[in-house]
Amino acid sequence: MEKKLSNKVAVITGGSAGIGLATAKLFAAEGAKVVITGRKLDALNNAAKEIGHGAIAVQADSSNLLDLERLYKTVNEKFGKIDVLIANAAVYILSPLANFTEEQFDKQSNINFKGTFFTIQKALNYLNDEASIILLSSIANTKAMPGHSSYSATKAAIRSMGRSFAVELLPRKIRVNVMTPGPIDTDVLDQVTSTKEEASSMKAGMAQFTPVKRLGKPEEIAAGLLYLASDDSKFMLGAELILDGGIMSL
């Protein structure tokens, strides 16, 4: 059977763990020439080995415009123009409104909002016409939750950018869509808690919050991203694919 991404060049930011890594593995298995990015070189190199299929890793901070320019020049030299771009890099910083610091705000805004914006802008000259761009949002873009005010705002901005980018890139037939996951079982929850026990408790609480009473798997989001990246979704643009275990609907 024909692979869905045969000989397509796919760039995935934040590709060394979680949703990004699961997506890179699936895309590579479906024939893509995969490039992953991230800020931690050791994690990137280990992920590239895990992905296999000739995947390469480029250390890059999505909030650093010089890093983005270097990334796309490297991809172009190695593989040529890009067919699929997944803007996945993000940080998850939680804190009550009263305690949120300017440093936390700037870090989250720079990576999630500014980083996503310029990840796309700096790629424009390196994208093939009819390429597929997918931005990673979150159900926090509409669902209010304590401690999420800054994070939610960045994810709402990403949903908005998906519409704006889609209409601007329509003349090139470049499709822009948004993937909006619910709570997913990744190590990101370990990063916002103090102990393994606290992380486990948070995961259990999030699982109970979903109608299906479990967290999503990174591989389930990767499958949705494959749909958005492939020709299966050619009639879809400026839209949002919500994979959230029923939270927003039920």
pLDDT at 191: 76
Sheet holding 240-243, edge to edge: 56-59, 33-38, 9-12, 82-87, 127-136, 175-181, 240-243
CB 51 within 8 A of CB 34: yes
CA distances from 142 to 2, 148, 158, 160, 216 (A): 38, 11, 12, 12, 19
pLDDT in the model for residue 8:
98
Beta bridge partners of 56: 35
Model pLDDT for residues 200-216, shown as the tens digit of each residue: 888 898 899 899 999 99
Pair 93, 43: CB distance under 8 Å: no
pLDDT of residue 194: 75
What local confidence, expressed as pLDDT, does residue 190 receive?
78
Torsion of CA 205, 209, 211, 217, to 10 degrees: -60
- Give the pLDDT of residue 133: 98
d(CA 135, CA 47): 21
| 3-state DSSP of 31-64 | CCEEEEEECCHHHHHHHHHHHCCCCEEEECCCCC
Cβ 184 vs Cβ 218: under 8 Å: yes
Tokens representing residue 230 in the block: 């492939």
Q: Please tell me the predicted confidence (pLDDT) of residue 73.
A: 98
Count of C-beta atoms within a 10 Å radius of residue 101: 10
Q: In terms of Cα–Cα distance, which of 209, 155, 150, 203 is closest to 179?
A: 155
| Residue spans of the chain under pLDDT 70 | none
Where in the chain do CATH 3.40.50.720 domains reside? 9-181+217-242
227 is catalytic: no
Q: Which residues contact 121 (CB under 8 A, 6 or more apart)?
A: none
Please list, in sequence order, all residues whose beta carbon lies within 8 angstroms of the beta carbon of residue 148, skipping any fewer than 6 positions away.
94, 140
Query: pTM of the prediction?
Result: 0.96
Given 92, 126, 151, 227, which residue is catalytic? 151
d(CA 58, CA 50): 15
Per the structure block, which two tokens stand in for 174?
Answer: 């470049």
Nearest partner of 175 among 226, 119, 131, judged by Cα? 131
The pLDDT tens digits of the residues spanning 204-247 come to 988 998 999 999 999 999 999 999 999 999 999 999 999 999 99
9-181+217-242 falls under which CATH superfamily? NAD(P)-binding Rossmann-like Domain (3.40.50.720)
